[in-house]
Amino acid sequence: MLSLLTSVMIFALAAVSLDLILGYGGLISFGHGTFLGIGAYSVAILTHQGTQDAVVHLLTGVAVSALFALAIGVISLRTKGVYFIMITLAFGQMLFFFATSLAAYGGDDGMTLPSRSIVFGANLLGSGRVFYYVVFACLLLAYLLCRMIVASRFGRVLRGAQENPVRMEALGFDPFAFQLTAFVIAGMLCGIAGFLLANHTEFVSPAYMTWQRSGDLIFMTVLGGLGSTHGAIVGAAVFLLVEEFLSGATEHWRMIFGPLLILVVIFARGGIMGLVRSRGHG
């Protein structure tokens, strides 16, 4: 149960980061799972090279995620709609195929880590309970950061750029700069989730970077309710817990899980949080 709840919080962190650009910026990125992979492979590659320090792993994952987000953001944010989706998908798949070519780090098969990252010379993260609280603290800080960003003038401009970018430009704001900044912040937060995921599973794989993983993150965000930071956490929790329950009940669980999620999205406008709010008003 502790392991399952830890997984839920890690993916909730990734979903919260995606909600910042999807729910508030209207940017549908099918390459967001790439940042999970970057954070995870930062741990694996550095460990393979003999560096097991958690701080180095984390800072490297965040820095590389930020640089990659900046690089693809500068290009993809000059497009809109389906073109933006396709470009982020293309960049994500490019890094996925690059990861599969890394034979020294397992290639297609992935790579098993010898242990979790070391904190100041001690294996503090080796304890499942300690690691649980570390993940909880990361999720809480990411949640508070995103809430603060959304409530700030930066957040208002980001939402305004989603609604009417021309009006934002007329008011003297550059929507591109705000969207790019949000895109980089989201990539960095998802990189932290990748660092935690690698330490949780003690395994890394190119599968973390697939468009299917990005699709899962989008569905978690939509399921909980777009433009609701806590909704992303609820969506991730429901998605993973229902998946866990159904997979334990039948091997054909996907045949039940898919239609169930579709029904929730169709009949719960605004996701789960939208349904809760409508019930509250009723």
pLDDT in tens, 7-35: 999 999 999 999 999 988 889 889 899 99
- Reduce the secondary structure of 20-81 to three states and give it as a string: HHHCCCCCCCCCCHHHHHHHHHHHHHHHHCCCCEHHHHHHHHHHHHHHHHHHHHHHHCCCCH
50 vs 72: CA distance, rounded Å: 30
Tokens of 250: 């039948």
Q: Is 270 left (phi over 0), alpha (psi -120 to 50) or beta?
A: left
Cβ–Cβ < 8 Å for 158, 22: no
| Alpha carbons 223 and 231: distance in angstroms, whole number | 8
Distance CA 210, CA 31 (A): 8
Mean predicted confidence (pLDDT) in 153-173? 87
Average pLDDT over the chain reads 88
Burial (Cβ within 10 Å: 0-12, 13-18, ≥19) of residue 56: middle
CA distances 76 to 29, 86, 88, 93, 253, Å, are 10, 9, 7, 14, 36
Question: pLDDT: is 245 or 140 the higher one?
Answer: 140
Domain residue extents for the chain: 2-209
- Identify the weakest region by mean pLDDT among 35-39, 88-92, 217-221, 278-282: 278-282
For the chain, strand residue ranges (E) read 111-112, 203-204
Tokens describing residue 61: 């994952």
Q: Residue 281 above 70 pLDDT?
A: no
For the segment 50-77, what is each residue's pLDDT rounded down to a tens digit?
A: 888 999 999 999 999 999 999 999 999 9
